[in-house]
């Protein structure tokens, strides 16, 4: 069983998948930063707030909570029941950006593969081996008109 597992892990597809997951995680961090640090502050400014991910609807305050009622982090830490629609919208925007970039990558890869296939099909076939041998035979006959194959290679 261990030998089979080692053979499975050593396959190229598994290694490619592992590399893709690692790169995907790093890329996800870049997209999250782009969304959190650049896009969402602009969206938040348009809607009147500096931090869009802090928009929420407070459903219930836990007993004994005496902190500010508009502090998302404090309410979340206290365990208040709330709907964090700003965080959800941030996650949706992250997903849409990531999905669009993956779409562009797949589209580009398909385009490159199609061009590669066209180049293979467009390559001239050239003469076959039989055609080349016939040309050589004809050239030899033209160079030695007295050559008679029935007399053998020495003519």
Looking up tokens 């007295």 gives 146
Helix axis angle, 85-122 relative to 12-34, nearest 10°? 130
Q: Dihedrals φ, ψ of 138, to 5°? A: -65, -40
Q: What is the pLDDT of residue 37?
A: 83
Q: What is the pLDDT of residue 132?
A: 86
d(CA 51, CA 44) in angstroms, rounded, equals: 6
pTM exceeds 0.75, yes or no: no
pLDDT in tens, 9-34: 677 677 777 888 888 888 888 888 88
At CA 95, angle to CA 87 and CA 108, rounded to 5? 160
Least trusted range by pLDDT, from 48-62, 78-92, 128-142? 48-62
Number of C-alpha atoms within 13 angstroms, CB side, residue 12?
0
């Amino acid at each position: 069983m261990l030998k089979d597992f080692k053979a499975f892990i050593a396959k190229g597809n598994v290694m490619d998948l592992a590399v893709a997951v690692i790169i995907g995680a790093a890329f996800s961090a870049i997209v999250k930063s782009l969304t959190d640090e650049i896009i969402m502050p602009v969206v938040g400014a348009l809607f009147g707030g500096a931090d869009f991910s802090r928009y929420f609807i407070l459903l219930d305050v836990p007993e004994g909570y005496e902190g500010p009622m508009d502090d998302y982090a404090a309410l979340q830490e206290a365990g208040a029941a709330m709907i964090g629609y700003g965080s959800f919208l941030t996650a949706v925007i992250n997903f849409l950006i990531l999905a669009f970039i993956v779409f562009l990558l797949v589209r580009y890869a398909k385009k490159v593969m199609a061009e590669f296939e066209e180049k293979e099909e467009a390559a001239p076939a050239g003469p076959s081996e039989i055609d080349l041998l016939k040309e050589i035979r004809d050239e030899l006959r033209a160079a030695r008109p007295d050559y008679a194959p029935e007399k053998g290679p020495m003519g």
